Amino acid sequence: MTEDTPFPTQNRSPQDWWPEMLDLSALDQNARDAGPYDDDFDYAEAFESLDFEQVKDDIESVMTDSQDWWPADYGHYGPLFIRMAWHSAGTYRTTDGRGGASGGTQRFAPLGSWPDNANLDKARRLLWPVKQKYGRKLSWADLIVLAGNVALESMGFDTFGFAGGREDEFEPDASTDWGPENEMESWDRFDEDDQLADHLGATVMGLIYVNPEGPEGEPDPEWSADRIRQSFSRMAMNDKETAALIAGGHTFGKVHGADDPDEHVGPEPAAAPIEDMGLGWESDYGEGKGDDTITSGIEGPWNSTPTMWDTSYIDNLLEHEWEPEKGPGGAWQWTPVDADEIEDAPEAHGDGTQTPMMLTTDVALKKDDDFRAIIEEFQNDPMEFLDAFAKAWYKLIHRDMGPPERFLGPEVPDETMIWQDPLPDRDFEPIGDEAAEQLAEELLDSDLSRSQLVKTAWAAAATYRDSDKRGGANGARIRLEPQRSWGVNEPAELETALETYEEIKAEFNESRSDGTAVSLADLIVLGGNAAIEQAASEAGYDVDVPFEPGRVDAEDEWTDEESFEALELDSDGFRNYVGGEHDRKLEELLVDKADLLDLSPEEMTVLVGGLRTLGATYGDSDRGVLTDDTDTLDNDFFVNLLDMQYDWEQADEAGQVYEGYDRETGEQVWEATRFDLIFGSNDRLRAIAEVYASEDGEEQFVQDFVDAWHKVMTLDRFDLE
């Protein structure tokens, strides 16, 4: 070992050597628990045992106890805690439901070391005494967000409510694609029409939303307004909610740019030396804290009352003219043209005063006609402003938590919002075992094939996204727009299936006088279960697919059609469906969908094999159906996929479709896609497939398929927990 290499270099992973190898790390996370808590730990039970008011009192005590190692602006950490909570929740995007406050992943790289999160490491360290006191009863994920709520309340704002229930992760999320750039604060994510790449939420690598200086560092308010609208809409906010969040958030605190960060600020936490103990952004400017703090490089407060809820931010923005200038940190910010007429703010740490400033993103609200109309309404009606910010903030910090059944604590509002995908209360007794058997027989005796029964159940359940707990079979929204018209659901065939389900449902419910009824949602799942049991029986296996009745049917008025568009599948490897063009390989799309379904590599493998064997493919295509008998749940898919009797050749220019030829006769026998062949070509997936393809592996395949199927059918059954 030489002086230049005091420690051995880390072993390279196969991914380092072969970057094109399929990455299964997201599914590996689903297959294991990374944290220190045992399987018996129930976070909901632990959280409910808290003295919630005492927790809030403890947070407020921290908030007003300024520490010399990181002194509080204006003697109050509230604005810092609001920024921390906002930046934790604000990573959410509707496109795939990933990001958000759940998991407390702001504690880990890359989020914890993003430029936009500079000095939020200090906020979390300030909260450590509270976390230390309550331990596992209060997750970091809940504490970070709750601190933002308490901060707002401590400065005179009435919040709409708070729900706990966010469990901590103990490693960063391997599934989230934060963008294509190779360096922070760059912007290679827009097309020639200045449209943000489909799956992203932030407009700039390393920022939560948009560049506060303006797009690509240009102080252009109109351009900034367009970027704001794109980014906030990707995070489920309309124009009114967006304006309320910006105006409400910027009512408090200040930004920090005492000097140029490039000249004085050290590395972020992920790159900081070990003796800094996980803190980053150490500054050598002055004292490096207090009035010498450098965070964004922009300097100043927005108003004269930075620790009080009022309309002074809006008043300053609308009643004064603003012009761009480079501030002391070398960044673009806006100064009032009539500086003598605007009320100064107190210095954050001294006895002097500061002139308020604005960001380009603030001036954008004034220059854009639609945003301006909204903030003028807020100025004229302060109670409307308060209500709009309260509900938008509540939505921001809870958007990724799913339905209200998951919400914990004494401050959960009675009102359910449409963005929570509400379901009606069940006003009937769910069916029992005898009725379920009767209905299963009727479904099997109907005109629907087994593959139709399986596909319909899969189409309903596979909308689920574990990232934000949306979608799933409960609610039977597959019968409502937009889901019933999605291409992946084969609308014409689905219409036929739904007619059959509706007839069976109506006939059964009309025949009962004991208050028992079946929902369409239950019937759809029951149909898939019955088809699988019958197909397993054909293969010689007597299996019971677990069925838990009690689902209900949603209605149009509580279904936000526009919001549900984000759940549409433009590919589904489980049904061998590809719609449109993709810049990722099909197998990568399959893994991405499997991750959203919270599946392990083994569960993904067995589900694809089972669905192929049952012929549950898009358009009833033969692609990937490597069997001659789709009425039987056997291991033919794996047996034939791994059989060296067949030689596979690419059949299309795009490299998506392949043909399997008999090596002896030269006859084409099979057709498949990359969704299928990956289980023979990838070493890890092949190892799993070999287990199921073995002569003694079929029974395990059938049982594992039933277990994985049941898991998917109940992913959204939070009422069972």
422: preceding bond cis by omega (within 30 degrees): no
Q: Return the sign of the alpha-carbon dihedral for residues 70, 73, 75, 77.
A: negative
**Whether the Cβ atoms of residue 397 and residue 148 lie closer than 8 Å to each other:** yes
Token pair listed for 145: 């967000």
Closest alpha carbon to 173 in 28, 277, 272? 28
Crossing angle (nearest 10°) for helices 78-89 and 382-398: 50
Q: Which residues of 257-292 are buried (b: 16+ CB within 10 A; e: fewer)?
A: bbbbbeebbbebbeebeeeeeebbbebebeebbbbb
Who contacts 138 (Cβ-Cβ below 8 Å, separation ≥6)?
47, 50, 55, 130, 131, 164
**Kind and range of the H or E run holding 673:** strand 668-673
**Is residue 582 annotated as a catalytic residue, yes or no?**
no
Q: CA 611, CA 400: separation in Å to the nearest integer? A: 30
Q: CA 691, CA 696: separation in Å to the nearest integer? A: 8
Q: CA 380, CA 490: separation in Å to the nearest integer? A: 50
Q: CA 697, CA 636: separation in Å to the nearest integer? A: 11
306: preceding bond cis by omega (within 30 degrees): no
Q: CA 89, CA 100: separation in Å to the nearest integer? A: 4
Q: Return the sign of the alpha-carbon dihedral for residues 237, 239, 240, 242.
A: positive
Token pair listed for 132: 């230390």
> Rounded to an integer, what is the distance from CA 389 to the centroid of its chain?
22
**Ordered strands of the 657-662 beta sheet:** 646-650, 657-662, 668-673
Token pair listed for 497: 């299936």
How many CB atoms are located within 10 Å of the residue 65 CB? 13
Q: Return the sign of the alpha-carbon dihedral for residues 668, 673, 675, 678.
A: positive
Distances (CA, A) of 271 to 88, 114, 277, 721: 21, 11, 11, 41
Q: CA 656, CA 603: separation in Å to the nearest integer? A: 23
Dihedral (Cα; 629, 633, 636, 638), 10-degree rounding = 150
| Catalytic residue selected from 87, 256, 320, 349 | 87
Cα Rg, the chain, nearest whole Å: 28
Rounded to 5°, angle at Cα 47 from 43 and 53: 165
The residues carrying an active-site annotation are 87
